Amino acid sequence: MQDNRSPERRHDILNGAVMAVILIVGTADIIRYIMLGMAVPLATVCILEILFAILAYASWRTGLSCLLLPVAAAGFVLFYTTNNFETTMFNAGFLIQAAAAAFGTVVGTIGLIRKKYPLRKPPTPEILAGTLVAVLVLGAWYGNVSVSKGMEEMARKSIWAVPEQYDSEECSRPGTVEKLTYETKAYATDERAVEKTAYVYLPYGYNESQSYNILYLMHGTGDDEEYWLKTHPQNKTMVDQMIARGDIEPLIIVTPTFYVEDDCMDGLDPLTYSFKDELRNDLMPAVESKYSTYAESCDDAGFTASRDHRAFAGLSRGAVTMYHSALCGSLDYFSWFGAFSGSRTTAEYFQETIQSEAFAEYPINYLYVSSGNFDFALPGQIQDYEALTAMEPRLTEGVNTSFDVYPMRYHSIGSWHLALYNFLQKIF
C-alpha cells in the first residue's frame, strides 16, 4: 500500500540533509576561526553561520526550499571573495554550503511547484530571528562607517572608513606627481639592462632645501606603478588633505612596480625577492639623488643613517614584496613597514633574514598589518603575523606593531585606501 506521506518525508530528508551539511561545515569553519585567534573574523563567521543555520532550519521546518536561496547566493559570493585558487582555499567550506543550498533550492522548489511536497506553517519565528540578527549586525557596521565618514576633527587611527572630508573633494593645496625613469636590471632572470618607471608624489610647497620622509608604496598582482596615485586618485587627494590639515608631515611617496617586462609571468614569487636588488642598487639611488630626503649620500652609509625616515608598504603581492625585499631584505635601509592584504612569509625566513648578523641590531619602528574580514589573504596573514611576533623580540603588539581587520571589507581598493589612511598616521 502506498504511503501518502512519502513525498513529504522525502522533502524533509532533502532539507534535513542540506541543513546538516550547512551546520557541519559551519561548525568546522567556526572552530578553524577560533584557532586563528582574532575577534573580528571570528565574530563575522559566527554571524554568517548563524544566519545560514536559521535559514536552513526554517526551510526544513516549513518545507519552503526557496529559503535556502540566500545561503546559496551568499555562499558562492563568499567563496570567490575569501579564497584564491593560487594562494589559499581556507574558506572552501562556503562552496560546499552554497552547493548544498543550491541543490536543495532547485530540487525542493521543483517539488513544491509540482505540488508533491506540502508547505507547512509559515517560518515567522525563524525569519524574524534571522532578520533581527542581520539588521543588528549591518546596522552596527553601517553606524560605525557613517560615524567614521562624518568625522570632522583631525584624522583618527584604525577606523572603519576614511572620513569623507579627506577624499570627497580636491585639496586647495595639492601635491604633484612626477614620472621618474631609471635604469635597472632583470635581477630575477638574466640580469639584462632594462628601463623602468616609477611615480613620485611631491607634497605641496616641495622645497629642495628641506629634507622629507619617504614612503615606497607597492601595488599588487596585475597592476602597475600607476595604481596608487593615478588609477585611484582618491589616494593622492587623501594624502593632500592629510598634509594640509596637519595630520601628517609632508612626505615623498614613490610608487614603483615589481614587474620587469615579461619576466616570471608563470610565477611571480621570484620578483618579490629580486626587487630587493633593484630597490637598493637602482631605484633608491635614482629617487633620492633627485629628490630631497634625509639621505646625505646615496650609498650604504647614507641610506642606513637615514633609515628612520624611510618606509615601505604594499598591497597583496606588493605586501609580500615588502616582506621579502624591504623588511627581510633591506632592514638596514628601512624602519617602517606596512602589509595590506598579503604575507606568504614563513617564520623560518624571518629568522634567516631579520635575525641574521647583518640585520639583528636594527630596530623596527613600526610594522602595520591590515586586511578585510572577507579578504582571502587574511588567514595566511594571521598565521604569519603570529609566527613573526612570537619569534621577534623587537616587535611588541600595541607598541610598535598592530593588525587591523576591517569589517565588511575584502581584497579591494576600499580596504587598501583605508589601510593607507591608517598607516600614514603610524609612521614617522
What are the domain boundaries of the chain? 6-149, 164-424
Q: How far apart are CA 327 and CA 188, in angstroms?
A: 19
pLDDT of residue 6: 66
The fraction of the chain above a pLDDT of 70, given in percent, is: 95
Is pLDDT above 90 for 87? no
User: Grid coordinates representing 380?
Assistant: 595566511
pLDDT of residue 2: 44
Q: Where are the beta strands (DSSP E) in 74-223?
A: 176-185, 193-202, 213-218
Q: How far apart are CA 428 and CA 424, in angstroms?
A: 8
What residue type is assigned to position 166 of the chain?
Answer: Y
Within 8 A by CB and 6+ apart from 48, the residues are 26, 74, 78
Per-residue pLDDT tens over the stretch 23-66: 999 999 999 999 988 888 999 999 999 999 999 988 888 888 88
Residue, of 402 and 145, whose pLDDT is higher = 402
pLDDT of residue 1: 40
Contact 117, 108 (CB under 8 A): yes
Q: How far apart are CA 157 and CA 426, in angstroms?
A: 8
User: Grid coordinates representing 277?
Assistant: 636588488
Is pLDDT above 70 for 7? no
pLDDT of residue 129: 75
- Residue 118: which pLDDT band, with cuts at 50, 70 and 90? low
Is pLDDT above 60 for 4? no
CATH 3.40.190.10 fits 164-424, yes or no: no
Buried b (16+ CB within 10 A) or exposed e, 243-277: bbeebbebbbbbbbbbbbeebbeeebebbbbbbbb
What residue type is assigned to position 291 of the chain?
Answer: Y
- What is the overall mean pLDDT for the chain? 92
Q: Grid coordinates 533550492 are at which residue?
A: 105
The whole-model pTM stands at 0.91
Contact 45, 137 (CB under 8 A): no
Per-residue pLDDT tens over the stretch 131-158: 777 777 777 777 777 877 887 766 777 7
Q: How far apart are CA 428 and CA 248, in angstroms?
A: 9
Per-residue pLDDT tens over the stretch 266-300: 888 999 999 999 999 999 999 999 999 999 999 99
Residues in the chain: 428
Per-residue DSSP letter, 68: G
Per-residue pLDDT tens over the stretch 369-396: 999 999 999 999 999 999 999 999 999 9
pLDDT of residue 150: 80
Q: Where are the beta strands (DSSP E) in 210-362?
A: 213-218, 251-255, 310-315, 336-340
